[in-house]
Structure 1
């Protein structure tokens, strides 16, 4: 993986060269290595399809250089040799790097020869493509060839059968079963028809408990209330009782075994309300077992017309027609895809980003024909073309997706931070690593290599999944290039993998603890199974530790010795009944840490503890994102003056929970780069202090989520006066009072306003008070009587969403829509009316809010 290795090395060299302005021979040699690294990167960007490039040699040399530098830095820190001269420091580093530097220099000479002898250029027409990022489109959802299937399925779901019906959808891999199910599941008619809709994905490594936890999450039970359900039986009873009274739709996606169907099916009650279970499966025996009557829905391969329409829609969505000179070649391409929608969609992603010339399309058509030799083999070779035609900058991002479990819903925010921490995302002009990484994710979605499953209110991606066949492709390519290895079970072979790996994703419980093998090459650990890792000292070069999905039964003190760590996320089980647990001061040794996520798991003991960060955290200069799920910061004034603090790069602060008397919110104003804050107050703090007297936010704030603050609506002017605020989410108990009256000149840049279980009885406002508002969301607002009519005059308004509110709010939303449309403007109004009682508090889950 040459590109990822070079970008990572270049960034590391940037850092160390910035720390020393001294000039000597050895430092100049290190600068020469930096320049050679950038030259190789530029070649990859300019000649993405060059077959003569020695990628394996580049990757090996760059990785060796990077490891040598990081070991040198670690040795310097551990041996406390900070007093040695600058000349001696660079001499030692140069001596260690000399071999790999000579290799990179040799490679660069070969590459320059290739460059000078090649007749290709950025716009060469030899069947290559331009490595541009995909343009953003407002709506890229196209379901072609499934319209008739969707109509039939909706008819069965809303049909006259009153008893519980199971509807299997059967078909081969990649034929569109999940796409069809999801399309129907999200249809407004289906949303309105069923009281409860639940989507459950059944992976090969499924556990009944995880499915139960997914179910109660849909129902509305918060993580903080799970201690009530200390057995699976209690979870089953709760789900059963909740669904028994309602008309429900359950989708069991990717079911592969009749025994699994029995295990999951027993959770759902038989009733007479017209409830439905939809099962998607590749196995005909599973479909027949789920519905012995044989009334399952078979999704067939597409015919030629459907295939061509799908390709054309995906490639030319913003244009009326395919250019005539490309139509014949395009039809030849879809013919070679043999009617498989996944293959067509993936190849469409390649064509959309390629040069729109006959030569380019002919070359892709030849590759498609050669890849599909008539054998089934899950058409892996045709999917491989999507990787072959990817720009180098997107390849590591795509392969990284294979490190997540099958059917795993991947948070966009999380994977973006991981890509940046890994070091293979290069800043671009005024855009930082994470902004570029977000563009990369959008581009993978446009190429249909990841599936967008959730979007934010502003249209940006919130969560994605990857098709299991594309995930198989990721894993195969990642193994071939020694980029990432997934361990499903531990064996002699897996021990050999560990010793040569730079990135490990572990899905298996390690009986007896992590094996005593050479872990010195490992830079990243993604842990998805309970992990008995009792020592971190051997992982001296770790950059990424993601253990949020598991529960560590100890506190990892020695993890703070990992100097190169950039991303740390973990959940630990602290069973001491003290109210707080203090993170050790040694935490401040993690000088390179950019993202920290800590979650305290309280088990099933019924008491609550929170973790308190040490004062030293204020001195961490590189920290960008601090997400404390049950935790709080110390008051900096208790130790030193605020002028000496160094949390100068903090952009995200999430879910701080504590009594106002223990944490002074007026200190937030000193976080000069803070853009996102999620703040949740404990209910028992309502009566203890007046928060509004010392509540101050930095002017850089762009996204603010408040919950439990119990502020008077008159204090909203503190929020409304923020000049850069774009997203405001008011959740349960954020504000209190009968009337919210807005003021002229506030919310000057607000685009999204969400009111979730925080509603006055009366809301008085003018359109000029929200001059840039695009999305208004009202969820579970039971006391608000109506939406102010003046909202219809906001020129930028695009969507109003009403979810489980009084019927009068939905009616006022419809009136506003009619008024807006009478002006000739478009306004989307989504109303979900429910007579259900208010759901349980879902808390402040960072990745769900």
Structure 2
């Protein structure tokens, strides 16, 4: 959520002032501490605010936080100058900015407090479930549990371990959210099935599939981790997989396959061993199921019956034994309107699990009832959007971040938490506390059935997760992407801050013929197979660009071509803590004069210095490299080369 990201980003900036060893006046450090506390109090209101009633106030908070941070950063740049006169004047301006910011935040806090009191008064006398915690205990181990379908499980189990010696393909079909993958996972983990097969493997195909990734995944299941395989071409990997499966009884789950072409691409990998091997396939497309199934093992998933639906709801929302009659009646209305679709039931139950009052339950029930006349897909999408709207602000920000991952992909929890922290989505305490908070929020999203656990590590911790396709679509819908194509061709200066953006749109920006100044601040870029951590600049990209500010905290790799950035003069890179290198093509640039690195790694600083040295070896002594607050030297400013840093702060580019 944009407002939460803006507030936490501001907290980070003022926190650094209070802790920095730079020449800040003591009064400014005290003001920054006070501002940090007051801004932090905003989070308490945002976490518990009603999205509709307080939408205007939330926008005001977001705009104010961004404005304060920009003004503070502009003065911090001046305080870093070596000229004492410039430092003194900047400190005085910073003091006034901080004092005014404290007044503004106090004013907003008062508005939020009044609105909160108004909301609380409207809820007086409302029936409550009682207790201070969620109406159910954490059930993060239950997200993948199957409810109902006992007859279907028995039939499919019989097919999987049946007496036919032929390789059989069993297809599970049905709409999105009906539970195909959960059913397949239940069968895959069934003890009698596990003991029957020598090898078990699982691949998720999805719409945009990678044959290589699927081959490597199956080979890892078959023979374990092998670094040599990574270097082999696809045809050798396919041959290696066939040899691994030859003569062994195997079960392969082919999950979420969308086309007959995809099936044709992968069916050749699986040899006929005449030893009762099986393939279990899930798809929304009946044509794919008919084409793949052999000898005609089609199992259409049905909707849950009323009893199964209620059991699933209770598993996710509240214990049957702890549910007061008035809450039970509301819950059954909700379940009835979910029409037996497991994903809908799970998500809306997850939302209700955090609601304490009967009025809150009735509000959700009425919203679900309003969707009852829509078709299945529209109704499911509406319920998912409803559950998103009922998330606290901090969870909205974390949930929307899943949109940066490729649809149907399995992602590492460790990497996810690092990216969350790097993007500034949490309150700023010690790094250990940040990781603890991130894990807590992750479990909260799991408990709300918004994330599905895929794998656990040996010590029982969650290792990987994935998000349902329909929820991924919701992330993209709720993360507005600006209409880049509407930018005027004569545009010379552009700042993009705190928005979700497709990589393809950034490619369009790179083609703007007169763009000279570009600032990319805290973007969330997604849409390519490489994910959001790699920026590949297209050929002839940014033909007139002279100034580039890059603040992309999750960025790991930045690649360019020989003919991109032909006019670039100045590059500022801020807080790119994972970036190790800048484009090596900069070593051949005849226009580049200055590289500034703020809060980056020593590796990146050294790489920039190597580019500078290579330029010098070619007789070009123009390029200067500066590094400030290098990660291992907090607060230090290192100038590898050049005179005093002139007052060319990025604020003049806004």
Shorter-chain TM band: 0.7 to 0.9
C-alpha contact (below 8 Å) 1:503/1:523 kept by paired residues: yes
2:247 counterpart (245, 248, 251): 245
State the TM-score, normalized to the length of structure 1.
0.60
After superposition, the C-alpha distances for 1:610-665 in whole angstroms (9 at most, x for unaligned) are: xxxxxx99970569xxxxxxxxxxxxxxxxxxxxxxxxxxxxxxxxxxxxxxxxxx
Aligned match of 2:610: none
Aligned match of 1:620: 632
Aligned match of 1:169: 172
The residue correspondences of 1:317-328 to structure 2 (distance < 5 A) are: 320=321, 322-328=323-329
Aligned match of 2:617: none
With over 3 angstroms needed to count, the CA separation of the structure-2 counterparts of 1:222 and 1:491, relative to structure 1, is farther
CA distance in 1, matches of 2:203, 2:102: 51
Aligned match of 2:521: 522
Aligned match of 1:195: 198
Deviation at 1:464, TM superposition (A): 0.8
1:540 aligns with 2:549: yes
Aligned match of 1:360: 360
C-alpha contact (below 8 Å) 2:24/2:79 kept by paired residues: no
Aligned match of 2:275: 273
Aligned match of 2:400: 399
Choose between structure 1 and 2: higher helix proportion: 2
CA distance in 1, matches of 2:101, 2:373: 42
After superposition, the C-alpha distances for 1:425-473 in whole angstroms (9 at most, x for unaligned) are: 1157996111101110011111111011112333322111000111111
CA distance in 2, matches of 1:371, 1:128: 26
With over 3 angstroms needed to count, the CA separation of the structure-2 counterparts of 1:508 and 1:331, relative to structure 1, is same
State the TM-score, normalized to the length of structure 2.
0.76
Deviation at 1:68, TM superposition (A): 4.2
1:347 aligns with 2:348: yes
Aligned match of 2:384: 383
CA distance in 2, matches of 1:173, 1:475: 17
* CA RMSD, 1 decimal: 4.4
C-alpha contact (below 8 Å) 1:566/1:592 kept by paired residues: yes
Deviation at 1:303, TM superposition (A): 1.3
1:312 counterpart (304, 309, 314): 314
CA distance in 1, matches of 2:97, 2:382: 42
After superposition, the C-alpha distances for 1:525-557 in whole angstroms (9 at most, x for unaligned) are: 556437433899965351413447x99899x9x
Deviation at 1:291, TM superposition (A): 2.0
Aligned match of 2:3: 2
Deviation at 1:194, TM superposition (A): 1.4
After superposition, the C-alpha distances for 1:468-507 in whole angstroms (9 at most, x for unaligned) are: 111111111122xx6xx8x9xx9678999x9545255656
1:181 aligns with 2:184: yes
Deviation at 1:311, TM superposition (A): 0.5
After superposition, the C-alpha distances for 1:277-318 in whole angstroms (9 at most, x for unaligned) are: 11111111111111275431110111111111110122235x
C-alpha contact (below 8 Å) 2:18/2:30 kept by paired residues: no
CA distance in 2, matches of 1:383, 1:7: 26
With over 3 angstroms needed to count, the CA separation of the structure-2 counterparts of 1:306 and 1:465, relative to structure 1, is same
1:154 aligns with 2:157: yes
CA distance in 1, matches of 2:603, 2:154: 46
After superposition, the C-alpha distances for 1:163-190 in whole angstroms (9 at most, x for unaligned) are: 1111111001100001101111122222
After superposition, the C-alpha distances for 1:744-780 in whole angstroms (9 at most, x for unaligned) are: xxxxxxxxxxxxxxxxxxxxxxxxxxxxxxxxxxxxx
CA distance in 2, matches of 1:197, 1:545: 35
Deviation at 1:29, TM superposition (A): 6.6
Aligned match of 1:591: 599
C-alpha contact (below 8 Å) 2:497/2:523 kept by paired residues: no
Deviation at 1:422, TM superposition (A): 1.1
Matched position secondary structure for 1:353: coil
The residue correspondences of 1:275-314 to structure 2 (distance < 5 A) are: 275-291=277-293, 294-314=296-316
C-alpha contact (below 8 Å) 2:11/2:428 kept by paired residues: no
The residue correspondences of 1:530-679 to structure 2 (distance < 5 A) are: 531-533=535-537, 540-547=549-556, 564-565=574-575, 567-568=577-578, 591=599, 620-621=632-633
After superposition, the C-alpha distances for 1:319-358 in whole angstroms (9 at most, x for unaligned) are: 7453333222211110011111000000111121111x43
CA distance in 2, matches of 1:505, 1:198: 35
2:498 counterpart (483, 502, 507): 502
C-alpha contact (below 8 Å) 2:600/2:631 kept by paired residues: no
With over 3 angstroms needed to count, the CA separation of the structure-2 counterparts of 1:473 and 1:466, relative to structure 1, is same
Matched position secondary structure for 2:453: strand
The residue correspondences of 1:33-48 to structure 2 (distance < 5 A) are: 33-47=35-49
C-alpha contact (below 8 Å) 1:504/1:522 kept by paired residues: no
CA distance in 1, matches of 2:153, 2:603: 43
What number of residue pairs does the alignment pair up?
A: 577
After superposition, the C-alpha distances for 1:693-722 in whole angstroms (9 at most, x for unaligned) are: xxxxxxxxxxxxxxxxxxxxxxxxxxxxxx
The residue correspondences of 1:817-832 to structure 2 (distance < 5 A) are: none
With over 3 angstroms needed to count, the CA separation of the structure-2 counterparts of 1:87 and 1:42, relative to structure 1, is farther
C-alpha contact (below 8 Å) 1:398/1:444 kept by paired residues: yes
C-alpha contact (below 8 Å) 1:502/1:523 kept by paired residues: yes
With over 3 angstroms needed to count, the CA separation of the structure-2 counterparts of 1:217 and 1:429, relative to structure 1, is closer
After superposition, the C-alpha distances for 1:239-296 in whole angstroms (9 at most, x for unaligned) are: 1221122111111111111111111212222221211111111111111111275431
Range that drifts further, 437-446 or 147-156: 147-156
C-alpha contact (below 8 Å) 1:5/1:424 kept by paired residues: no
Aligned match of 1:774: none
With over 3 angstroms needed to count, the CA separation of the structure-2 counterparts of 1:155 and 1:519, relative to structure 1, is farther
C-alpha contact (below 8 Å) 1:565/1:592 kept by paired residues: yes
C-alpha contact (below 8 Å) 1:547/1:569 kept by paired residues: yes
- Tell which has more relative contact order, 1 or 2 (C-alpha 8 A, sep 6+): 2
CA distance in 2, matches of 1:117, 1:326: 25
C-alpha contact (below 8 Å) 1:128/1:360 kept by paired residues: no
After superposition, the C-alpha distances for 1:594-624 in whole angstroms (9 at most, x for unaligned) are: 999xxxxxxxxxxxxxxxxxxx99970569x
With over 3 angstroms needed to count, the CA separation of the structure-2 counterparts of 1:154 and 1:27, relative to structure 1, is same
CA distance in 1, matches of 2:220, 2:46: 45
With over 3 angstroms needed to count, the CA separation of the structure-2 counterparts of 1:324 and 1:122, relative to structure 1, is closer
Q: Which runs of 5+ in 2 are unaligned?
A: 585-593, 605-627, 636-654
C-alpha contact (below 8 Å) 1:526/1:547 kept by paired residues: no
CA distance in 1, matches of 2:479, 2:130: 23
With over 3 angstroms needed to count, the CA separation of the structure-2 counterparts of 1:311 and 1:493, relative to structure 1, is farther
Deviation at 1:150, TM superposition (A): 2.0
Deviation at 1:392, TM superposition (A): 1.7
With over 3 angstroms needed to count, the CA separation of the structure-2 counterparts of 1:594 and 1:369, relative to structure 1, is farther
Deviation at 1:567, TM superposition (A): 3.6
Aligned match of 2:425: 424
CA distance in 1, matches of 2:433, 2:445: 19
CA distance in 1, matches of 2:194, 2:355: 38
C-alpha contact (below 8 Å) 1:400/1:474 kept by paired residues: yes
Aligned match of 1:661: none
C-alpha contact (below 8 Å) 2:548/2:571 kept by paired residues: no
